[in-house]
Chains A and B, each alone.
Chain A
């Protein structure tokens, strides 16, 4: 693992006030050089420092999935991830899925199938769905239900989330065929 420079030079900071470390991230395609305290999670970095509030905090304990983002293409709970662990990584949040005005097929499908109500779990659901489809292990509807079960939706939109993922999968399959 790459070590950041100047982490504890001087060693004067009291333990309560952790020294910030230099971190490089590529967030939604943009290079970021950031000084980040080691106790800052990737989720809080995104929301509080980078103002990317699309990624949600629902529990801060890795229990609800609202904070799901893609790191190097893999879905993770950003609340359980210290930002400094991801030095040099590529992070995609819900803000980075659309291409200009053109929404990602999963985003389109979520609107069309009314796969959300309050919308708070939605960015996590969408990032999770994109990650899950890329994993390529979901063959049946039951697979999708199971593999999307790390993302809670208190509004109870699950049947429509399933329908949206099915739609997105069809759209993508067609897109690849042409």
Chain B
């Protein structure tokens, strides 16, 4: 912002605002969340179709899990085939603790803590088992959790009903009321923005650099005092916490928790979101969730039927083979191309001047 606006006060404010946004990514995430809230409002008052609301609710859930998985896949070079299972831990855990008569906030916290404990155990496992063996072991974990969800009576067999949720001890929200459902949606959008900020804070810190150190060059990381064990446990714990938060939001918004949904295929969908959205990108996770889940739910389903798995699978493979940086990188490449083009044109101008 070098040129000073003189005539217009409004422009001055706008410029100050633009600088603020540019300097502070946190503000960007907050604005992003608020735009989503507005979007939810429009769809709840009928300007946009109302089913957009529930599609975007699921996109938000996927975005949060993908942010966590990205810390593993993109930053720490670790793979997990159990991310969907941990959404289940979050959702079903919240339900079970609510059934015990605990307030929602405590139930959610306990569900997240339980997931984090299991996550740290996987992290411990990953210190011994790395590379391609790790995927296989997380598959076992997912299978164990699936058996537990579907077999234990306290999870209610097919699904665990939660019903109206009471927040902060007085705010009752039911998904059956259109207005209240919008409030639930707004809470999710804001939580997503907060999780984006948390991700940003982690990756721009000593911990984020350590995650990249252990995955890109484990030897030098060790020589600089970065313990692979500690950071693998940390990465897995954080990733499961993200998934469990998404699960809590699931319980909050849908007000029930199914038991059979948290299997391998949904974990694969989340992997596809991270890959398609772009390793190491924050907005990319939302973009990926929108492309993988949103496009097939909003458009493809009507045209072609349920092609979401085929669509995600093909996209996943195509992106890995031909554009491994992910869709979020496209605008960087476009900008590069633009500058290249501009530069070339200028060069031509120079030549013209000389002749």
Partners in one complex: no
